[in-house]
Amino acid sequence: MSDSVFTSKWNDASEIDTNYTRVSILAVVSLFCGIVSVLLFFSLWFTLFPVLALIFALFALWAIRNAEGGLTGKGFAYTAIALSVLSVVFVTVFWQTYIVILNRQSDRLFRDFFAAALDNDTQQMMDCFTLSTERKKLDAETWWQERYAKNGTHYGLHNFADNKTVRTLAALGKKAKITYYRTPALAVGDENDTVVKYYAVTYTGAAGTPETFFVKMSGIRLYDKKAGAYGWRISAYPEFIVPEEYKEHSK
């Protein structure tokens, strides 16, 4: 007598159990962390997620291999690995490029100031303290009237002229040679970026031998809402500085 549906062994689930598979929770979690890793482009606060994505993905692949067909999710795990690695690589390249740009732009600003100082061009020097997006090309008389005489801020000009570093650079003039030394500080912020650089100023002394001193320059990059663009300005008067590696020799 042939079996009917009524004589089937409904309680025999061996075939079903053998073919049953489930998605690895670790693979799903790794994919979530991999997707969140993309947010690294917007904030470094998400640095932990690509690390977690990689760890969870590797554990998921290990569990899937040992489950002998009982687990799936390799695609999720591999996607998580790809997202985490690509996020880290692209963000690293982006920030390194951004830092290079900050260094070049700030160096250009500082060298514009040095060029004006060695030419004893007060107008150009002081314009470097104004955000680049707000500067106007004015003749000397108009510049004085608009920026100082009308605003009653001529005391700022006197204070600037009394700065020892400014006076020294102006006195040396074309005899001085400006050389970049190093960048002791560079900070990237949400609203502004700041850069501090040291420059070596070399000139021929009274005895005919080369003399060198160091100048500290500080700059800031800000967003100008009116212009809809970022601009640079020097954020502090230049000052003489003795680098740490030379302090022992200067005692």
What are the two backbone dihedrals, phi and then psi, of residue 209, each rounded to the nearest 5 degrees? -105, 150
Crossing angle between the packed helical segments 154-161 and 164-172, to the nearest 10 degrees = 70
pLDDT at residue 16, rounded to an integer: 46
Q: What is the pLDDT along the chain (251 residues), one digit of tens a residue?
A: 455 544 444 444 444 455 567 888 999 999 999 999 888 877 778 888 999 999 999 999 999 888 888 888 899 999 999 999 999 999 889 989 999 999 999 999 999 999 999 998 888 888 899 899 888 887 777 777 776 666 656 666 677 777 899 899 989 998 999 999 999 999 998 789 999 999 999 999 878 889 999 999 999 999 998 889 999 999 999 999 988 877 665 55
Farthest-apart Cα atoms in the chain, separation: 123
Given CA atoms 66, 71, 72, 77 in this order, what sign does their dihedral have? negative
Do β-strands 177-188 and 71-72 pair in parallel, antiparallel, or remain unpaired?
unpaired
